[in-house]
Amino acid sequence: MDFPASLLPYFDWHLAIAAGVAVIAAALRAFTGFGANVVWGPVLMLFYGPVDMVVIMVLVAVVTAPQIAIPAARDADWKTIAIMGAAVAVAAPFGVITLLHLDPSTVKRAFGLFVLICSLVLASGWVYRGTHSPIATVATGALSGWIGGFAGIGGPVMVIYFLAAPGEIRVQRANNTIAVSLLAPLTLGALIWTGSIHTDAVIRSILLLAPVVLGQWIGV
Give the residue-averaged pLDDT of 75-87.
91
> Which H or E element spans position 112?
helix 104-124
Give the residue-averaged pLDDT of 90-115.
89
- Rg value, the chain, Cα: 17
Give the residue-averaged pLDDT of 38-64.
92
Q: How far apart are CA 31 and CA 21, in angstroms?
A: 16
Find the helix packing angle between 78-101 and 169-193, rounded to 10°: 40
Mean pLDDT, rounded, of the chain? 87
Nearest to 160 by CA among 203, 116, 206, 124: 124
Is pLDDT of 98 > 80? yes
pLDDT interval class at 1 (50, 70, 90): very low
Beta strands in the chain (DSSP E): none
Is pLDDT of 117 > 90? no
What percentage of the chain reaches a pLDDT higher than 90? 40
Dihedral of alpha carbons 190, 48, 140, 66, sign:
positive
Is pLDDT of 15 > 90? yes
Q: How far apart are CA 183 and CA 85, in angstroms?
A: 8
Annotate 128-151 with b (16+ C-beta within 10 A) or e (fewer).
beeebeeeebbbbbbbbbbbbbbb
Is pLDDT of 216 > 70? yes
> Which H or E element spans position 86?
helix 78-101
Q: Side chain identity at 186, as an amino acid letter?
A: L
Q: Name, in order, each residue with C-beta under 8 angstroms of 216's C-beta and a sequence gap of 6 or more.
A: 26, 27, 29, 30, 64, 67, 68
Choose between 82 and 1: higher pLDDT.
82
Are the C-beta atoms of 146 and 92 separated by less than 8 Å? yes
* pLDDT for 2: 57
Q: Name, in order, each residue with C-beta under 8 angstroms of 131's C-beta and a sequence gap of 6 or more.
A: none
